[in-house]
Amino acid sequence: MSNLSPALIEIVFEHADFLIINKPAGVSVQNEQDASGILPIICKQLSIDKLWLVHRLDKITSGLLILAKHAQAASTLGKLFEARKIEKYYLALGTAKPKKKQGTISGAMKKIRDGKWALSKDGTAVATTQFFSKSVSPGIRLYLLKPLTGKTHQLRVMLKSLGSPILGDVLYKSSEHDRTYLHAYCLRFCYQTQEIDICCPPTSGELFNTEACHNALDEYNQPWSQNWPTSASRKG
């Protein structure tokens, strides 16, 4: 996506110490051989010299990404992420109805072939995700995901383990679509006594933009208010 115009990057929230942007799907957080990463795009857009990356999204994932304006803010935000004091909520679309409409999946993440990861019963890199799901239309299901850990490909692997790989995620054996239907939807945290909760619904993708999906999303407009599970009881 090397021809993306920087003007298309939406600044969702601006603080004296950091920005929260809506990263488009298809843009990497790091520079690639043939395309700029998100940092130089935003720096050019805002005519500033430097921003600090404090967490990551996969290239295929759209949605909320925090960028610090200076090193001290990057350190503070990084510590909040490490302490799991930043709540993250994602949206995904799949095709299959899981055995349970809501629950918790937990398992060790193991790297396998071709850049893929899988859940394993053994290992120390345990990943945990809580989820709700609901039908959007025949053959399309909306997942609200709350990762309690931040492992590489965690949500993609979790949905695959439910038998409902994310639509468009061909790496994990889903069918091809106009995009991979994974979106970083909401962030909620306290920064220096300021309570911040930001939600940013997905804007790209034919399936995200259907009336049925918009209607289904109404129930999740404040995802932290859902009756989330209190313990990781299900092994993936």
Residues noted as catalytic: 58
Task: Say how far apart CA 175 and CA 168 lie, in whole Å.
Answer: 6
Give the closest residue to 217 by CA, choosing from 185, 187, 189.
185
Q: 73 by DSSP, 3-state: which?
A: helix
Q: 98 by DSSP, 3-state: which?
A: coil
For residue 189, the Cα-to-chain-centroid distance in whole angstroms is: 16
Match 């304006």 to its residue by tokens.
69
Task: Say how far apart CA 183 and CA 205 lie, in whole Å.
Answer: 10
Task: Say how far apart CA 58 and CA 191 lie, in whole Å.
Answer: 25
Match 């809501």 to its residue by tokens.
102
For residue 38, the Cα-to-chain-centroid distance in whole angstroms is: 15
Match 């054996």 to its residue by tokens.
173
Give the closest residue to 179 by CA, choosing from 207, 205, 210, 209.
205
For residue 67, the Cα-to-chain-centroid distance in whole angstroms is: 15
Nearby residues of 48 by Cβ (< 8 Å), 6 or more positions away: 69
